[in-house]
Amino acid sequence: MRPVDPGSTRALPRGLLVAAVLLLGARVASAVYEQHHPSQPWSLVAWVPLEQAEALSRERHLPILYYFSADWCSPCQVMERDVFNNDYAARNINTRYIPVKLKDRRQEEGENLPAVQALIKAHSVSSFPSFAIVGLDGKRQRLTRGYGGYTSTLQFLRIPTPSD
C-alpha cells in the first residue's frame, strides 16, 4: 500500500494572506490620511488665527507679529526649529506680540486665501521667511526678510538674547 500524500507543505496559510491584505489596506489608508492631513511641526509659540488677531491686539494692547512662511521653505523650517521651539524665544514672542502664522500656498494650490494674499501684498513680502510687526494703529512698524539666525531674529523682535 502506498503512503497517502499529504500535499505540499509549502501551501500559503490563508490567515497569513488575510493579514497581509489587511496590513496593506491599513498602510494605504494611512498614506491617504497623511496626504490630506499633514502633520504640523511642533511649536511653543501660541499662534493666533488671523481672524482673531486684530481684536486680541486691541484687547491686550500688543502689536501683531505676522510670520510669513511656506511649506517648501527650508530656512522657514530651520527658523521654526531654532526659534519657535525654543522655550525662551517662544515665551517672549507670546508675551510681547499677538503671533500670527501665515502660509503661502501658491505653489501647492495655485493661490492663497484672499486675506493672506492681501497681507503679503500690504507688507511687500517677496521672500520667506518674513516678519511684519504691526502696531495698535494698524501701521507696520518693522519688516524683515530671510532667516539670519537665532540671535538676529531675537534682535529684530527686540527680545534680549539670554546672555544679555
Sorting pLDDT into bands at 50, 70 and 90, what band is 15? Answer: confident
| Residue 84 is assigned to a structural domain of this protein | yes
| Residue 32 is assigned to a structural domain of this protein | no
Domain that holds residue 68: 50-156
Per the structure, the count of domains in the chain is 1
| Residue 92 is assigned to a structural domain of this protein | yes
Sorting pLDDT into bands at 50, 70 and 90, what band is 1? Answer: low
Cis check: omega of the bond before 49, within 30 degrees of 0: no
| Residue 21 is assigned to a structural domain of this protein | no
In 3D, which of 36, 50, 38 has the Cα closest to residue 117?
50
pLDDT averaged over every residue in the chain: 86
- How far is the C-alpha of 144 from the C-alpha of 156, rounded, in Å? 8
pTM: 0.72
The angle at the Cα of 40, spanning 63 to 93, to the nearest 5 degrees, equals 25
- How far is the C-alpha of 42 from the C-alpha of 85, rounded, in Å? 7
- CATH number, domain of 62, equals 3.40.30.10
| Residue 107 is assigned to a structural domain of this protein | yes
| Residue 29 is assigned to a structural domain of this protein | no
